[in-house]
Each structure stands twice: as structure tokens, then as C-alpha cells.
Amino acid sequence: MLLRLAPVAIVLLLVGPVLAGIAMAALPAFGYLPALGGETLTLAPWRALFAEPGLARSVLVSFASGLVTTAVALAVVLLFLAASTGSRLDRWIRRLVSPLLSVPHAAAAFGLAFLIAPSGLLARWASPGLTGWTRPPDLQLVNDPLGLALMGGLILKEIPFLLLMSLAALPQLGPERRMMLARSLGYRPTLAWLKGVAPALYPLIRLPVYAVIAYASSVVDMALILGPTLPPTLSVSILGWFQDPDLSRRFMASAGALLQLGVTLAALAVWWGLERLAARLGRRWLEGGGRRRGERALRLAGRSLIGVTTLAALAGLAALALFSVAGFWRFPDALPQGFTLQGWSRALPHLAGPVATTLVVAGAATLLALLLALAALENEQRSGRHPGSAALALLYLPLIVPQIAFLFGLVVLLEALGMRPALGLVIFGHLLFVLPYVFLSLSEAYRRLDPRWARLALTLGASPARVFWRVRLPLLLAPLLTAMAVGLAISIGQYLPTQLLGAGRHPTVTTEAVALAAGGNRRLIGVWALLQASLPLLGFLVAVGLPRLLWTNRRDMRGTP
Amino acid sequence: MPKPHFAIPWLALLAAAPLHAASPDADWQSILDEARGQTVYWHAWGGDSRTNDYIAWVGRRVDERFDIDLEHVKLDDTSNAVSRVLAEKQAGNHDDGSVDLIWLNGENFAAMRDNDLLYGPFAERLPHFPLTHPEHNPEVVTDFTLPTEGYESPWGKAQITFYYDGDALEAPPRSIEALLDWAREHPGRFTYPRIPDFTGSTFLKQALIALTEDRDALYAPVAESDFAAVTAPLWDYLDALHPHLWRSGRQFPASGPEMRNRLGDGELDLAFTFNPAEPAAAVADLELPPSVRSYVLEGGTLGNVHFVAIPYNSPHQAGAMVVADFLLSVEAQARKQDLEVWGDPTVLDLTRLPAEKRARFDTDDDHPALLPPEALGETLAEPHPSWMTALQDAWRERYVR
């Protein structure tokens, strides 16, 4: 049966190339890369790596930003959900989640940098009136050596992701019943949520949380814009070595890529340890039975923290928009000397091709990913087993191995197989990164769907296929569309897979944006970042709007409010 | 400059078009014939919309004239194209590569040449190449002291040019030594891009040339001299300079364009670029204030030529050669030098061009931020590429903690 082949297909089609790509990337770390004259195995690349100045610091910043970012973002999301009461403000924030999630990381980073830099928007508006500055102050606000600006930027971007994942998972838990029960036992609302709902929610969003750790500890684009510089994060260092005109540095770069893998795995392991610790401490807190203590502080934190981060993200977007039409803008003027549409008028004529390619690639990769994920999950449901789930775990490898190392290996592999760059390969490359996200967005919701629905339908005489189409899919419409929207956003944001697997022959909005960002023209950066953000937004609007449209008469099926 | 050497080229010709006749015209005609209908993928840095627009114009012209479909692959870093060719070589794809033409120079050229990733020699076969008069202008056949040996064809010129906000600053420092005194008096108002950025590394070389006692050593591989002794004055200088730089020298802008933004923001008073036309172009683009002026240091600044090269496994080498040749035409070079278009200086030898052709390069726009061509007269040659790598390593060793 076709369905049973799905996990096999995933393994063969995707895990195989991933492993092969990694192997091809790992060999140079031990000195093997015949095209550069490396034909014997040696540990020299590792010695060179550990002799790099500032390596320890790079590793530390990458490791810390993985854990700190995730901890803060998760805390903000859980506190918000706990404190939210369905007020108008809360609903607004929930609605803003999708647009904020659709903003590509690089665009968000530029927005934040435009906002908080010493010559940024905030300083311009506060000067000289409040600060007395007539020239920008000589302060390290972005690119600070501790990576605080980088972590701040990552937190802004990961909060919407975790919030969306939580909102997609929540309806299956029946939070209202849990809340009612806890409230009837006398728990104040915020505590009731934290003690009654959060412990059940966390397992459902654990994979997304792990993805955030992996992402935050290995991110490149945001770290280039906001991260420390002397030395930069490990991922940025690796990119630099790969891009060094001195090709012999690639051996060391490959060793660095393996080290990055180790750093990310270490961050995941430490987090896993922290989970255990939190479970133990949390248990005592739960069993303590406190019904009021901390309620007010928690509620205040839940409201204000997300308010601040949402506001900061929006202000960053506003800064992008303002800079995209700004003429020359002298510090500390509150507004530019004039406005111009030059950036937009230059970009628009070149837009049609890249937008079309972006949509084709993102649409195809997302649909394929969705098909594969659904087939694998449905197969799991019917067979009652998790066949090859260990192999499926390898799907997440592309998220934790540095893209550049693994893609270089993959290009070598595909070339060796005689596959020439083509649109199909680009879609395939995107699929490698889209599938894990679609899978992790969907799998928990799928696996934890109340099995009694299906059983009921089966006892009424429906075939398994009919159960799938008529019961499971409709019930899962909201998480399905969310997974799709996430997949689209991931695909649209890809730069290296598009460039390397397509040999640059299939320009997308993102490749254009990244190429132009290298020139530093803020007007163009603003224009392309906004364009880049607007495409995934379409996906999210559909994801939010469609269930509301289809289920106008079924409140609990609408997913996000 | 020796005449094109005909000792080796049969090997190259074997890889290229079938050679029908010995006469150069017939040779070129066969290349034109072969190029017809080809699609040429040109991998070139795409960070500047003016450059991109110029390349798009080249695409339209070669389509009209030679029936070549030119596709600009916009890169954020030239190394991505090098990666691609390297991966193809690694995989044994020796004749159907995906890169047909690369915009590069210096270290990238040296690296590709060292690893036999380039096709050639081809430059001497281009009919327009003689217009550069390499016998009088060795820089068009020398890339960071390495002879190009016909493996790349010149395209444009660059020279370190300083610029400053004339409203904020009256007398900018005119030499590397004066720069230190100036920085002491104006703390936080100057910086240079972070090593290993290309422009930042060039600043190190510029300072080294001005400060070292053994300038000749720089024009041979670094292994042949005592690196520590030759560069000691540079490190003394930088140690003294850094505390007075932007962010007290603890942080550096990522690139030349970022440095330009900092000047536009008023964080810096003085900056420099490799493209002499950049300040004027940035004023026109409303990125810098109209009060910006530019100048070069006394005794000259580093200058170099940028080139186009053809990977060894390009399946469209004929088309790529025709494009490289068109880039050297008077039409293309004059348009490229036009400040309205791009402002990149020509590699043609204008003094040896017939008057009516030379007239096409005349500029009637004397933009206050743009230096007249005479001002760029004093050009210092690039040191051997091994110095760049050695300086970058030593810098990181010293200032990355």
C-alpha cells in the first residue's frame, strides 16, 4: 500500500541525501577533499580550528544564545497565555502573531538595528531634546560582545513562533475544562493556567522548542546583523571560513561545522537536563497547592513582557518602512529631509520574476512536505506503530547542521550523480528545510487528536480512508494550515539552498534581498525586507482566515482566535 | 610586456572553439558563431543597484548584437561562485559547469588559478583587449602582482579614495601619519572595516606601504621576508590608533558600505572606499549629505583592476568570451564610467584612443563629491596576495580576543 511506503520514501528521498551531504561535509574536516589536494586523513583541520583566536568565546556566545533565547521566549509565551483573559488587547496580540512570524529573520534584525542603534530611530527621536546628543553617542548597542542584541532580536522572532505553535496545540487540551476545574478549586486565573494547562501543553510544543534552540544556537543571518563581531558567533565564523578566498580554509571550516553540530547538541542536552530539573521543581510547586501567591506579579509580567516585545517588533517594521522611503536623514532630525519613492520604483520593475519563482518553489516544497508528513502520520495512526521513527528523527538534522557545510556536500553529491542545477533541485533543497518544520508543527497535533473520533466513525462503518478525509482532516484543519503557513515562510526565507542548488539561476525575493543587502543601501534594504515579509504574510492570512470562514458556526474549530 | 605567448595555447584552444584558421579574425568569427544562441550565466556581486542595472544593460546589448542570453546571477559574496565551481570539480563535472563568467580579482583569482579552476588563456584573443595597451599599463595584466597570463580579462578600476563631510570637517588628514594625529584630536570619528573585509584589509596594506621600511618586500611572496620585522611599524601604528577610533577600536563596521552608512548617520567624519565614484553616487542616491567631498592621500593610494574570468568547466566559454570582449568595447566602457550609470573608471588606455572615441569618455558633470580623473593619478600597486592573507591572520591574532 502506498501509505506504508511514506516513511520509507521520506527516509530514502530525504534522510539519505541529508546523511550523504553531511558525510561529504564531514570528510574535509579530516583533511579529505581531493579537489583541493586533500587526499589523506589528518587531524590538522582540528588543530587549526582550535588555534583560531577567539574560538572559545564564539562557542560560548552561540551556546548561550541558544539557551537564553529559548528560555526567555518560552517564558514570555507561557506567561502571556496564562495571563490572557480574552480582553481586546489580548486578542490583538494573538492576531499580530502571524504577521510578526512572517517577517523574515534578517528583516526583523535590520528593523531592530534601525531602531536601537546609536544613530537609530529611538536615538533620533529622543535627541537632542531628552539626551542632549547632537551626534550619535559612541556606544556598543548592537553587535555587543555578549550577544545581547542578537538574543534580543532572536527573542522577538521566536515569541511569535512559539505562540503560534501553542495556539495551534491548545484546543486539543480542552483548556476551558481544565481552567474551570482549577478555578473551582480556588486557583486564581493565571496560576490556574500555569498549573492546570501549561504542564499538559509543554509536551505538545517540545519539538518546536527544540527547533528554537537549534536555530538560535546556529543562526547566521541575524548574527551577521546584530551579533558580536570580535569574535563573531561560531556560525558566522564558519561562514567566513567557507567564504575565505583562501580555499584551504575550507578544511578548518568543515571541522568548525562539526563543532557547531556539537555545540547545538550540547545546548539541546543541557535543555533536556533543565526540563528534568524544572519538572522536579515544578512538581513541588504544583503539589504545594498555592492558589494566590505570585498571581499579581505573574499576571503583570505576562501582559507587559509580550507587550514590550510586540511593540519592539512592530516599531522595527515601522522603521524599515520609514527608511524605505527616506531621503537623506541627518542625525538627530526626527524625520528625513525628504521622502522618495526611488527605492520602490527601482525594485518594482524587477519583481515579477523573483516573486513568481518564490511562490512556485515555496508552494511546491510546502505541498510536498505536507503530503509526506500527512502520509507518514496517517500510516502511523493506522498501523499503530511509529515505524522508522528513529530514522525520521534524522529529518531534523538539516536544522542543526550548519547549512553551508551540508549544502556544499549535497551539491558535490548531486553533481556526482549527474544532476544539473534546475528548479526541481531548488524545490528539493527547500523541502529538506520545510519538511522538518511542517512535521514538527503537525505531528503532535496529529498524534494527540482524540482517537475516539476515529473509533466512533469506524464503528459507524466508515472506511479508514473516509475517516481520514471526513473526520481527521477537517478536525485538524487549523494545525494543517498553520503548518502550511510555517512551511511557506521557511521556504521563502531560504537563501543558500536556492543559491547553491540552483546555481543562482532561479532568483527569488530572498536571493535578491540578500544580494542587495550586501551593498548597505538602507532604502533598498527596507524595500526588499518589506517585500520579503509580505509574501509569507499571505500564507498566514489564509491559515488564520480559512478556518474562520469554513467554521463560522463551530467556535472551537477555528484554531487561533 | 611580452606579446601574447603562443607556446601553450594549443591546450587552451583544444578546450575552446574548433580552430579553423590561423588568422585572428577567423578565430574570433568562429567564436562569435559558436556563441550565438548561448546562455551565459554571469556570477557577479549584486549589492549595488547601479551596477546591477548596468549589467542588465550589457545583457540587452549582447542579446541585440550577438544573440547571447546573459543572465546575471547576483551574489552576496564572490566566494559562492568559487564554491560552486569547486563542488563541480570535486564531483568530476569537468565540462558542464553552471558558472560561465565570474567578476573577481585578487585573492579569489589567485585561489581559482592555484586550484586550476579557470579557463584560459583567453584575454589576448579578445579583439578589444589591445585597447587596454597592456605594454603601457601593466596593471591590466597584473592582479595583485600575479601576472594574469590571459586567465582573466580587465573590466574596471578601483582606487582607495577618502571622503568626508565638508560641513563637519575642514582639513582632513592627507597622509597615514597625519591620520593618527587627526584621530587623536577627533576621537571616535574614524574607523575601518573589520578584517578580513576586502576594503578593511586594503587599509592595512595602505598603512603598511606608508609605514614600512622595506616596501620592496611587499611585492614578493610573504614567505620570502621577515614578516614580523616588515610589519612591526604597522602594529605600533594600529596599537596607537585603535583607542581613538569609532567604538574605541573594540568594534568595527562589517564592510565599506556599512562605513558609508555610519558617515551618513553622522557617527563618522571620515571614511574611504575602493570605488572613486561611490561618494558622488551616494550623494545622488540621498545616502550621503551633499556636503561630502573626496580626496586621495599624498603619495598616492592603493589601486587595482577588477576582472572577469571564465571557469574551466563552463559549457559556454565562447559566449562568455564574447561578453568579456563586449565589456572592453568603447561603448560599454564609456557607459560604465558615466557617473549617471555607475561611475566605474575605464580600463582602456584613453591617451591612445582616437580623439572621437576618447570624446565619449568626457565628463561634463563636475560633481563636487567626485574627484577629477587627474587627481587619481598616483596609484600604488597592490602587494602580493600572500601579504593580504598574512596581514589578516596577524590582525585577528592581535585584536580578536
Query: What cell does B87 get?
Result: 563542488
Assess if residue B198 is contained within a domain.
yes
Structural domain includes residue B77: yes
Residue of B114, B116, B285, B388 for testing the chain A interface, max A β-carbons within 10 Å: B285
Q: Are residues B167 and B94 in the same domain?
A: no
Give the span between the Cα atoms of B391 and A397, in whole angstroms: 37
User: What is chain A's alpha carbon radius of gyration, rounded to the nearest angstrom?
Assistant: 24
Query: Which of A423, A407, A419, A411 is closest to A353 using CA atoms?
Result: A423
Q: Comparing C-alpha atoms, which of A273, A225, A211 is closest to residue A398?
A: A211
Q: How far is CA B41 from CA B44, B53, B102, B323, in A?
A: 9, 16, 9, 11
Whether B84 contacts chain A with CB within 8 A: yes
Chain B residue closest in CA terms to A142: B251
Are the C-beta atoms of residues A531 and A344 closer than 8 Å to each other? no
Residues B278 and B144 in one domain: no
pLDDT score of A556: 66
pLDDT one-digit tens code per residue, A353-362 = 899 999 999 9
What's residue A14's pLDDT?
77
Before B130, cis peptide (omega within 30)?
no
B79 & B177 share domain:
no
Same domain, B268 and B315: no
Secondary structure of residue A77 in the 3-state scheme? helix
Together in a domain, B276 and B310: no
B77 with A518: Cβ contact below 8 A: yes
Q: Name the pTM for this structure.
A: 0.86
A247 and B93 in contact by Cβ < 8 A?
no
Alpha-helical runs (H) found in A460-557: 464-466, 473-475, 477-493, 496-501, 509-517, 522-550
The predicted complex's ipTM stands at 0.81
Question: Which region holds residue B188: left if phi is over 0, alpha if psi is between -120 and 50, else beta?
Answer: left
In a domain? residue B1:
no
Kindly state the percentage of chain B with pLDDT values over 70. 93
A264's grid cell = 547545538
Please answer yes or no on whether A521 and B285 come within 8 Å at the CB atom. yes
Question: Do B38 and B146 lie in a common domain?
Answer: yes
The pLDDT of residue A493 is 87
Largest CA distance in chain B: 68
- The pLDDT value recorded for residue A555 is 66
Closest Cα of chain A to B166: distance in Å? Answer: 14
pLDDT-based confidence at residue B23 (cuts at 50, 70, 90)? low
State the pLDDT at residue A286.
Answer: 84
Residue among A136, A143, A524 minimizing CB distance to B266: A136
Residues in chain B with CB shorter than 8 Å from the CB of A514 are 76
Out of A54, A240, A420, closest to residue B98 by CB: A420
Q: Is B269 on the interface with A (CB under 8 A)?
A: no
Contact A339, A326 (CB under 8 A): yes
Say which residue the cell 574607523 belongs to: B191
Q: Which of B87, B396, B401 comes nearest A412 by C-beta?
A: B87
Q: Kindly state the cell numbers that stand for B272.
A: 574611504
B39 CB within 8 Å of a chain A CB: no
Q: Point out which residues pair with B43 in neighbouring strands.
A: B73, B102
Question: A240, B196: Cβ pair inside 8 Å?
Answer: yes
Dihedral sign, Cα of residue B288, residue B290, residue B293, residue B294? positive
What dihedral angle (degrees, nearest 10) is formed by the CA atoms of A495, A500, A503, A509? 0
Please report, in tens digits, the pLDDT of each residue of chain A (561 residues total).
Answer: 567 777 777 777 777 887 888 888 788 889 888 777 788 888 999 999 999 889 999 999 999 999 999 999 999 999 999 988 777 878 888 777 777 887 888 888 989 998 998 888 888 888 788 888 888 888 888 888 999 999 999 999 999 999 988 887 887 788 889 988 998 998 988 999 999 899 999 988 888 899 899 889 988 888 988 999 888 999 989 888 887 777 788 889 889 988 998 999 999 999 999 999 999 998 888 888 788 888 888 888 888 899 899 999 899 989 999 999 998 888 888 888 889 888 888 888 888 889 999 999 999 999 999 999 998 888 888 877 665 556 666 777 787 777 777 787 888 788 878 888 889 999 999 999 999 889 888 887 788 788 888 889 999 988 888 988 888 888 888 888 888 988 998 999 888 888 888 888 899 988 888 888 877 888 888 898 888 888 888 887 877 777 777 777 776 666 544
Number of C-beta neighbours around residue B59 at 10 A: 18
Is any Cβ of chain A less than 8 angstroms from the Cβ of B400? yes
Residue B113 inside a domain? The answer is yes
Chain A partners within 8 Å of B267 (Cβ): 118-119, 135-136, 138, 331
Residues near A363 by beta carbon (within 8 Å), at least 6 away in sequence: A488
Distance of alpha carbon B273 from alpha carbon B294, whole angstroms: 10
Using DSSP bridges, classify how beta strands B146-147 and B142-143 pair: parallel, antiparallel or unpaired. antiparallel
In the block, which residue shows the cell 586594503? Answer: B202
Residue B304 DSSP class? E
Task: Give, to the nearest 10 degrees, the angle between helix A55-83 and helix A295-324.
Answer: 120
> What is the spatial distance between Cα B234 and Cα B178, in angstroms, rounded to a whole number?
14
Closest partner residue to B47 among A224, A418, A519, by Cβ?
Answer: A519
Among A495, A511, A520, the residue with its CB nearest the CB of B255 is A520
- Chain A CB contacts of B255 under 8 Å are 518, 520
Model pLDDT, residue B192: 96
* pLDDT single digits (tens) A110-152: 899 989 988 888 888 887 888 888 888 888 888 889 999 999 9
Name which residue leads in pLDDT, B278 or A128. Answer: B278
Looking at the fold, whether B202 and B123 belong to one and the same domain comes out as: no
Residue in chain B nearest A141 by alpha carbon? B247
Query: What pLDDT, on a 0 to 100 scale, did the predictor assign at position A561?
Result: 42
What are φ and ψ of residue B304, in 5° steps?
A: -155, 175
Do both B135 and B248 map to the same domain? no
Residue with cell 537549534: A214
Q: Would residue B124 count as lying in a domain? A: yes
The 3-class secondary structure across A310-343, one letter per residue, is: HHHHHHHHHHHHHHHCECCCCCCCCCCCCECCHH
Residues 6+ apart with CB under 8 A from A549: none
Q: Determine whether the interchain pair A246/B47 forms a contact, defined as Cβ–Cβ distance below 8 Å.
A: no
Taking only the tens place, the pLDDT of each residue in B171-196 is 899 999 999 999 999 999 999 999 88
In this complex, is the C-beta atom of B358 within 8 Å of any C-beta atom belonging to chain A? no
Of A135, A328, A504, the CB nearest to B287: A328
Torsion angles phi and psi, residue B294, rounded to 5: -125, 160
Helices A295-324/A88-102 angle, 10° precision: 50
Task: Closest CB to B76: pick one of A342, A412, A518.
Answer: A518
| CA nearest neighbour of B275 among B193, B344, B194 | B344
What residue ranges define each of the domains in chain A, with the CATH number in brackets?
A: 1-33+341-447+465-561 (1.10.3720.10), 57-340 (1.10.3720.10)
Collect all residues with Cβ–Cβ distance below 8 Å to B312 and sequence separation of at least 6.
B15, B85, B89, B94, B97, B116, B117, B118, B119
Which residues of B are less than 8 Å from A516 in CB distance?
Answer: 46-47, 49, 74
Residue A328 CA to residue B85 CA, distance in Å, equals: 41
What CATH number is attached to the domain comprising B33?
A: 3.40.190.10
B139 with B304: CB under 8 angstroms? yes
Please report whether residue B29 resides in a domain: yes
Output the CA torsion sign for A516, A522, A523, A525.
positive
Domain contains B49? yes
The rounded distance, in Å, linking the Cα atoms of B207 and A418 is 49
Q: Is residue B372 assigned to a domain?
A: no
**Most B CBs within 10 Å: which of A328, A337, A345, as the mutation test of the B interface?**
A328
* Residue B19: pLDDT band with limits 50, 70, 90: very low
DSSP lists the bridge partners of residue B158 as B304
Q: What angle do CA B12, B13, B15 make, to 5 degrees?
A: 70
What is the pLDDT at residue A330? 83
Chain centre to alpha carbon of residue A15 = 21
- Do B281 and B350 lie in one domain? The reply is no
Compare all CA atoms of chain B with the CA of A345 and give the residue at the minimum distance: B49
Q: What is the enclosing helix (H) or strand (E) of B188?
A: none
Q: Is B401 on the interface with A (CB under 8 A)?
A: yes
Chain B CB contacts of A495 under 8 Å are 76
* Chain A residues inside the 8 Å CB shell of B252: 229-230
Q: Chain A residue closest to B53 (CA)?
A: A346
Nearest-Cα residue of chain A relative to residue B261: A520
- Minimal-distance CA residue of chain A relative to B262: A119
Q: How far is B311 from chain A (nearest CA, A)?
A: 14
Number of domains chain B is built from: 2
Give the three cell numbers for residue B207.
598603512
Q: State which residues form the domain around B178.
A: 161-303+378-399
- Which of A127, A226, A230, A337 is the best residue to mutate to test the B interface, defined by the most B CB atoms within 10 Å of its own CB? A230
The 3-class SS string of A404-427 reads: HHHHHHHHHHHHHCCCCCCHHHHH
Distance (Å, rounded) from C-alpha B334 to C-alpha B354? Answer: 14
Instruction: With beta carbons less than 8 A apart as the criterion, state whether B62 and B322 touch.
Output: yes
Provide the chain B residues 87-126 that lie in CB contact (below 8 A) with chain A. 87-93, 96, 98-99, 106-108, 110-111, 114-115
Q: Are residues B217 and B345 in the same domain?
A: no
Q: What is the 3-state secondary structure (H, E, C) of B205-268?
A: HHHHHHHCCCHHHHHCCHHHCCHHHHHHHHHHHHHHHHHHCHHHHCCCCCCHHHHHHHHHCCCC
Phi, psi of B309 (to 5 degrees): -135, 165
φ and ψ of B159, to 5 deg? -150, 135
Chains A, B: CB contacts under 8 A, how many? 191
Indicate yes or no: CB of B110 within 8 angstroms of CB of A245.
yes
Question: Can you give the pLDDT at residue A559?
Answer: 55
Residues 132-161 in B contacting A (C-alpha not used; CB under 8 Å): none
Computed on alpha carbons and rounded to an integer, the radius of gyration of chain B in Å comes to 22
Q: Percentage of residues in chain B with pLDDT exceeding 90?
A: 57
Contacts of B247 in chain A (CB under 8 A): 138, 140
Pseudo-torsion of CA B306, B307, B312, B317, nearest 10°?
150
Q: What is the pLDDT of residue B6?
A: 38
* Grid cell locating A8: 520509507
| Residue A16 identity (one-letter amino acid) | G
**Bridge partner residues of B41 (DSSP):** B71
List pLDDT tens digits, range A10-25: 777 777 887 888 888 7
What is residue B10's predicted lDDT score, i.e. its pLDDT? 41
| Residue of B55, B76, B103 whose CA lies nearest to A495 | B76
Nearest to B98 among A224, A242, A421 (CB): A421
pLDDT score at A558: 62
Q: Which three cell numbers stand for residue A318?
A: 515601522
Neighbours of B163 (CB within 10 A): 25
**Do B353 and B221 share a structural domain?**
no
The pLDDT of residue A140: 85
Same domain, B298 and B311: no
Residues of B in contact with A503 (CB under 8 A): 41, 73, 84, 98-99
Instruction: Tell me the sheet residues that pair with B146.
Output: B143
